[in-house]
Structure formats: structure tokens, C-alpha cells
Amino acid sequence: MRFFLTEIVARIVAAWVVFDCYRKLRGGLRDGKIAIFNPDLLDWLTYAPADRATTPVRFWLTMFIQAIAMAAGVAIVIVGWIPAS
């Protein structure tokens, strides 16, 4: 039996992911720039967002990754979290 609180927390987190990805996608299409996730501390110091005009491949790859994350979040909000076991 699945724990009910886990389902609630998973749907709340997924809704936040959907909202955040939508906000980034909308801003990326409007401004032509999108923030890149980079866990490397040294690259944070020289941070440059992906620009549609100067780095189109990086821009569209980042947009695609955000769209996939948003679709996964929508699926979790609708269906819920289904554990592997």
C-alpha cells in the first residue's frame, strides 16, 4: 500500500516543477535567452545564459530539456507518483 502523504508531496513538487519550467520556457521564447543549469561552481562565476542568436543549439537543447521536465511534471500531477516496487 502506498503512503498517501508521499502522493501529496509528489504532486506538490511536480506542480512546482511545471510552474518553474513553464516560466523558463515562456521567458526563453519571449526574450531569446534561457538560463542554463550548470552544477560546476567555476562556471557559475562566468555565467552566460544560452542566447538564441549566438548559441542556438545550446538554446534549443535547453528549451527541449525544460519542455521534457514540464511534461514529466504534468504526468506526475495527473497520474501521481508510481514507485518502482
Q: pLDDT tens for residues 41-62? A: 665 566 678 888 888 998 898 8
Residue 38 belongs to some domain of the structure: no
Residue 41 belongs to some domain of the structure: no
Question: pTM for this structure?
Answer: 0.78
Q: Phi and psi of 81, rounded to 5°?
A: -90, 125
Q: Please give the residue range of the domain that contains residue 16.
A: 4-31+49-79
Whether residue 3 has pLDDT greater than 90: no
The total number of structural domains in the chain stands at 1
- Contact (Cβ atoms closer than 8 angstroms) between residue 58 and residue 2: no
| Range list of H helices, 32-82 | 41-45, 56-79
Q: Is the dihedral of CA 13, 65, 39, 48 positive or negative?
A: negative
Residue 37 belongs to some domain of the structure: no
Residue 15 belongs to some domain of the structure: yes
Residue 39 belongs to some domain of the structure: no
Grid look-up 519542455 returns 67
Residue 84 belongs to some domain of the structure: no
